[in-house]
Amino acid sequence: MRAKIRAAKSPTMLLRILTAGLLALAASIYLRRWTESKPTERIAMAACLCYVAALSYAALLIFRSTRGESVAPPAWHVQALLAPGWCLIFLGLSRSRRLGRWVAVSLVCCWVYLISSTYFAKLIPLYSGYPEPSVRLVRLLSWYGPSTNQAWNVLSLTAIMPAGFVLPLAAVVSMSAVGLAVAVSERA
């Protein structure tokens, strides 16, 4: 029980809860302004709803065929909804003035944190042989310190390019995400 409470307090779980809450709020803002939508937008929404119905049917079939061991369809099936779904949600947020701007900026900041932490707290340590089963900030920062030559050698062996390229490219991705977030925040 304590492990579940500790897991619920983790930054990852808090980010999931925050993002899900912001996404639900953004969807409700979009649906509240549904009457302002254009015909092409309604077609995109109808297509998304049809795809959600198909995914629900697929989940039901998978649940039945695995006798309850699996509930969801494969993750790559859900990804087809990402582009039109996010476009519709941000379109609705652009129609809502203050609250929409706040929610849009918050969502963008969540995704900037997600992409940066994915590279620097998950992927790079994972492929560099990080010794701990879970990542703690203080240990991670000391691991990134000057005694990581062996880790960079491991990363160079497991990555498609040397570690000298991986780290700067990950930094460019993170800085670009921050730059895009600032640009979106100023335009919103």
The model's pTM:
0.74
Q: Which two tokens stand for residue 165?
A: 């390229």
Mean pLDDT computed over 55-83: 84
CB 178 within 8 A of CB 112: yes
- pLDDT tens track for 151-188: 888 888 888 888 889 989 999 999 999 999 998 888 76
The mean pLDDT value of the chain amounts to: 84
% residues pLDDT > 70 (the chain):
92
pLDDT for residue 144 is more than 70: yes
SS3 at position 7: helix
pLDDT at position 53 is 92
CA distance linking residue 143 with residue 136, whole number of Å: 10
Longest dimension (CA), the chain: 60
Task: Identify the band that residue 3 occupies on the pLDDT scale cut at 50, 70 and 90.
Answer: low
Closest CA to 110 of 9, 11, 27, 5: 11
pLDDT at position 6 is 52
Unique residue bearing structure tokens 């061991």: 69
CA distance linking residue 7 with residue 49, whole number of Å: 33
Task: Identify the band that residue 1 occupies on the pLDDT scale cut at 50, 70 and 90.
Answer: very low
Residue 130, phi-psi category: left (phi > 0), alpha (psi -120 to 50), beta (remainder): beta
Mean pLDDT computed over 38-65: 89
pLDDT at position 8 is 46
- pLDDT tens track for 88-120: 888 888 888 888 889 999 999 989 998 998 898
HSE-up (13 A, CA, CB side) for residue 176: 7
